[in-house]
Amino acid sequence: MCGIIGYTGTKNNAKEVLLSGLKKLEYRGYDSAGIAVYENEKINLYKSTGKIKNLEESLSKNTSTLNLGIGHTRWATHGVPNETNAHPHKCGNVTLVHNGIIENYLELKQDLILKGTEFKTQTDTEVACAYINEIYKTEKNKIKCIAQSCKNFRGSYAFAIIFDDEPDTIYAVRKDSPLVIGVGASDENFISSDISAILNYTNRYILLEHEEFAKISKDSIEIFNSNLEKIEKEILTATWSSSEYQKSGFDHFMLKEINEQPKVLKQVFERYFSNNTYDQNIDISNYDNIHIVACGSAMHAGLVGKFLFEKYALIPVTVEVASEYRYKNQLITNNTLVIIISQSGETADTLAALRIAKQKGAHTLGIVNAVGSTISRESDITIYTHAGPEIAVATTKGYASQVAVLSTLALNTAIKKGLIDKTFEEHIYNDFKNIQNTISDVIKNYEEEYKKVSEYIYKHDHLFYIGRGIDNAVCLEGSLKLKEISYMHSEAYAAGELKHGTISLIEQGTPLIAVATDEILFEKTVSNVKETKARGSFVVFITTRDLEDKYIKSVEDTSGFFDIKLVLPSATDFTQALVTMVALQLIAYKTAILRDCDIDQPRNLAKSVTVE
Catalytic residues: 2, 607
3-state secondary structure of 458: coil
Which residue blocks in 66-209 are alpha helix, DSSP H?
105-114, 124-136, 142-150
540 touches 512 (CB < 8 A): yes
Backbone angles phi, psi at 402, to 5 degrees: -65, -45
Pairing type for strands 155-163 and 89-91 reads: unpaired
Within 10 angstroms of residue 148's Cβ, the number of other Cβ atoms is 17
Region of residue 322 (phi > 0: left; psi between -120 and 50: alpha; otherwise: beta) = alpha
User: If phi over 0 gives left and psi between -120 and 50 gives alpha, with beta otherwise, what is residue 388?
Assistant: left
Q: Please, which residues have CB within 8 angstroms of residue 16's CB and are 6 or more apart in sequence?
A: none
583 within 8 A of 475, measured Cβ to Cβ: no
Give the DSSP H or E segment for 363: strand 363-368
Query: Which element (helix H / strand E) includes 173?
Result: strand 170-175
Task: Sheet containing 155-163: give its strands across.
Answer: 89-91, 94-102, 155-163, 170-175, 212-217, 220-224, 230-231
Other C-beta atoms lying within 10 Å of the C-beta of residue 24? 25
Query: Cα dihedral angle (487, 489, 495, 499), rounded to 10 degrees?
Result: 180
Closest among 123, 159, 155 to 142, alpha carbons compared = 159
Helix 261-274, helix 422-433: angle, nearest 10: 140
Distance (Å, rounded) from C-alpha 25 to C-alpha 340?
25
d(CA 260, CA 253) in angstroms, rounded, equals 10
Q: How many CB atoms lie within 10 A of CB 20?
A: 22
In the three-class reduction of DSSP (H, G, I as helix; E, B as strand; rest coil), residue 442 is classed as helix
Quick one: DSSP state of residue 385?
Answer: -
Q: How far is CA 333 from CA 134, 330, 349, in A?
A: 48, 9, 21
SS3 84: coil
Distance CA 10, CA 506 (A): 64
Within 10 Å of residue 487's Cβ, how many Cβ atoms? 16
- Sequence-distant (6+) residues with CB within 8 A of 474 are 300, 304, 467, 515, 577, 580, 581, 584
